[in-house]
Amino acid sequence: MGSESRGERHHGLKPYAEGKVKCRSKFKVWMIRMTTTVLLWTCVLQLTALGHTWVPRVWNGRPSCSSPSDVPIQGQQSTSAIVKKFVHSPKRIYNNNGYLMVSCNGGLNQMRAAICDMVAVARYLNVTLIVPELDKSSFWSDPSEFQDIFDVDHFITSLRDEVWILKELPPRLKWRVEKGSVYTMPPVSWSDISYYENQILSLIKKHKIVHFTKTDTRLANNALPLEIQKLRCRVNFAALKFTSQIEELGRRVIRILHQNGPFLVLHLRYEMDMLAFSGCTHGCTNEEAEELTRMRYAYPWWKEKVIDSVVKRKDGLCPLTPEETALVLRALDIDHRIQVYIAAGEIYGGERRMRALSEAFPNLVRKETLLGSSDLQYFQNHSSQMAALDYMVSLASDIFVPTYDGNMAKVVEGHRRFLGFKKTITLDRKVLVDLIDQYTNGTLAWEDFSSSIKAAHATRLGRPARRVTIPDRPKEEDYFYANPHECLREAW
Ligand SMILES: *[C@@H]1O[C@H](CO)[C@@H](O)[C@H](O)[C@H]1NC(C)=O
Ligand SMILES: *[C@@H]1O[C@H](CO)[C@@H](O)[C@H](O)[C@H]1NC(C)=O
Ligand SMILES: *[C@@H]1O[C@H](CO)[C@@H](O)[C@H](O)[C@H]1NC(C)=O
């Protein structure tokens, strides 16, 4: 259990209401626990605000201002400098138009991007954002709250010069949530900021509180003011910091890996849920294929039921199998001695399916082999926390290779660009499966196979580039968080 690529898990959503009931009682406990903290923080902030009037404009200056050295590199260096900078920014003064509550849906990285979007929306509507609620009803039912994954106080204080964020609604408004009389809606996907200004703002003004029940891809990738794009980056790269518990463990894993030399993180998205919902059964036994199909039919929210695995794979829409991955990494001339860290949950088919990969790359490691079981005990049943750990290791790696373009793959790719265009190999699966099939049926010699693969990926290494924009076809555009070029050092 414990996979990181909750990315695709929007397909794994139960109706919102179910999760809501479960978390209401938890919310109360959380409320009590947090009240003390809120009080303490308020005092601290009042005091620090008095002592500091200087405003660092790290993020609000010129387009090329956000240099990687200004922000914490998760898992690599101390973040205290940046924390200080933001904590000392004075709170932005604005006329509060109301309150925005959001329930994020999907896996950790889909939610991460959504949190950045929602901060930007709240900022531009001059509303107060309530700390986002995380999805507890997706495939792996992780019960983690925001503050179990992210440093919530850092999140709030580091953004105080942009937008007000509260851990909960003010007491005078809370009864509305308890009575279920809050205006609730999913915003329209891929909207630009004018949708929020023209339609959502009036709703918030009218109802005082609006609750978004979905948050995935609700803000367009492109055609947004530069300030919004930069705010999305600021949230992603500076305001969202994992809890110290996760950071410490992540740093430990990274230290162990560094001691043993360079390492490649392989986001091997070959987990049961992925295969069941995608219908990709290449390389599986008949029994396995049947099991996966049964599973897909059993989940009502995996709507696509009849899938032709062969066609889908040929179209490049299946995650690479572990065997295919081994071939590709070898063809790319990846040193067979490099440590390969598997950032994933349980690989479907287990040892048997991993054999080709571990033969080609004997230094195969996972968090479970690097850490003692007692270290991971607490994380074990919290897939999002495991995912956070893998996220940190992925950022720190020398090479990052995802076998499928889910949300983790994309968000990590963008974050690595931000950290100085660290090498990320984004595989062209459509080209690859064709070459692999030619090689395995003997039509293509190894040398030709290898040079074709290298040629096909020469421009897919996470280097500076502009996002592809396709007006009117938002689903096909490059994803903002995979390449937030507005925020990268190379000015465009
Ligand atoms: C938000 O507040 C700023 C001043 O801080 C103001 O210029 C802007 O018009 C306000 N926008 C909305 C949507 O209320
Ligand atoms: C995790 O969950 C499994 C099954 O739900 C349970 O048996 C196990 O004790 C849990 N482990 C921890 C550390 O909570
Ligand atoms: C080998 O595989 C390729 C790609 O699928 C296919 O086009 C070709 O016809 C196959 N050749 C043989 C001899 O099976």
Ligand nearest to the CA of residue 383, numbered in listed order: 2
Residue whose CA is at the smallest distance from ligand 1 atom 13: 125
User: Can you tell me the distance from the alpha carbon of 253 to that of 195, in angstroms, rounded to the nearest whole number?
Assistant: 44
State the CATH number of the domain containing residue 62: 3.40.50
139 versus 447: which is more confidently predicted?
447
Same domain (yes/no): 432, 364: yes
Q: Which atom of ligand 2 is nearest to the CA of 378?
A: 13
45 band by pLDDT with thresholds 50, 70 and 90: very low
Residue whose CA is at the smallest distance from ligand 2 atom 11: 381
Helix residue ranges per DSSP H, 52-151: 80-87, 108-125, 146-149
> Is residue 283 pLDDT above 70, yes or no?
yes
37 band by pLDDT with thresholds 50, 70 and 90: low
User: Can you tell me the distance from the alpha carbon of 228 to that of 262, in angstroms, rounded to the nearest whole number?
Assistant: 36
Same domain (yes/no): 150, 10: yes
Query: What pLDDT, on a 0 to 100 scale, did the predictor assign at position 380?
Result: 78
Count of Cβ atoms closer than 10 Å to residue 308 Cβ: 10
Pocket flag, ligand 1, residue 94 (CB < 6 Å)? yes
Residue whose CA is at the smallest distance from ligand 2 atom 8: 381
Picking from 65, 108, 104, 131, the residue whose alpha carbon sits closest to that of residue 392 is 108
Same domain (yes/no): 57, 96: yes
> Is residue 492 pLDDT above 70, yes or no?
no
DSSP labels for 229-246? HHHHHHIIIII--B-HHH
Ligand 3 is surrounded, with C-beta below 6 A, by 434, 437-438, 441, 443
140 band by pLDDT with thresholds 50, 70 and 90: low
Indicate the average pLDDT of the chain.
85
- Residue 402 has, within 13 A of its CA and on its CB side, a CA count of 26
Picking from 255, 254, 239, 190, the residue whose alpha carbon sits closest to that of residue 218 is 190
Pocket flag, ligand 2, residue 381 (CB < 6 Å)? yes
Q: Which atom of ligand 3 is nearest to the CA of 314?
A: 5
User: Can you tell me the distance from the alpha carbon of 209 to that of 181, in angstroms, rounded to the nearest whole number?
Assistant: 10
How many structural domains does the chain have?
2
Same domain (yes/no): 61, 35: yes
Domain extent, residue 377, equals: 247-487
> Is residue 227 pLDDT above 50, yes or no?
yes
Q: What's the whole-model pTM score?
A: 0.83
Query: What pLDDT, on a 0 to 100 scale, did the predictor assign at position 34?
Result: 53
Query: What pLDDT, on a 0 to 100 scale, did the predictor assign at position 490?
Result: 60
Over pLDDT 90: what percentage of the chain? 73
Which residue reads 């572990």 in tokens? 322
Pocket flag, ligand 1, residue 125 (CB < 6 Å)? yes
Tell me the CA–centroid distance for residue 271 and ligand 2, in Å. Answer: 19
> Is residue 1 pLDDT above 80, yes or no?
no
Q: Does residue 492 lie in a domain region? A: no
Do residues 63 and 226 touch, judged by C-beta distance below 8 A?
yes
Same domain (yes/no): 156, 103: yes
The alpha carbon of 125 is separated from its chain's Cα centroid by a whole number of angstroms, namely 25
Q: Does residue 1 lie in a domain region? A: no
The residue-averaged pLDDT of 347-371 equals 96
Residue whose CA is at the smallest distance from ligand 1 atom 8: 126
Same domain (yes/no): 44, 159: yes
Which mutation among 374, 378, 380 tests ligand 2's pocket best, with the greatest number of atoms within 8 A of CB? 380
Last residue of a domain, one of 185, 214, 241: 241
> Is residue 46 pLDDT above 50, yes or no?
no
Last residue of a domain, one of 241, 267, 302: 241
Tens of pLDDT, residues 65-106: 344 444 434 434 444 554 455 556 899 999 999 999 999 999
> Is residue 449 pLDDT above 50, yes or no?
yes
User: Can you tell me the distance from the alpha carbon of 326 to that of 437, in angstroms, rounded to the nearest whole number?
Assistant: 14
377 band by pLDDT with thresholds 50, 70 and 90: confident
Pocket flag, ligand 2, residue 377 (CB < 6 Å)? yes
Tell me the CA–centroid distance for residue 479 and ligand 3, in Å. Answer: 34
Query: What pLDDT, on a 0 to 100 scale, did the predictor assign at position 156?
Result: 98
Query: What pLDDT, on a 0 to 100 scale, did the predictor assign at position 84?
Result: 53
Tens of pLDDT, residues 245-272: 999 999 999 999 999 999 999 999 999 9
User: Can you tell me the distance from the alpha carbon of 317 to that of 320, in angstroms, rounded to the nearest whole number?
Assistant: 9
The residue-averaged pLDDT of 202-226 equals 97
Which mutation among 92, 95, 121 tests ligand 1's pocket best, with the greatest number of atoms within 8 A of CB? 95
Residue whose CA is at the smallest distance from ligand 1 atom 4: 94
Pocket flag, ligand 2, residue 380 (CB < 6 Å)? yes
395 band by pLDDT with thresholds 50, 70 and 90: very high
Angle at 242 between CA 236 and CA 248, to 5 degrees: 140
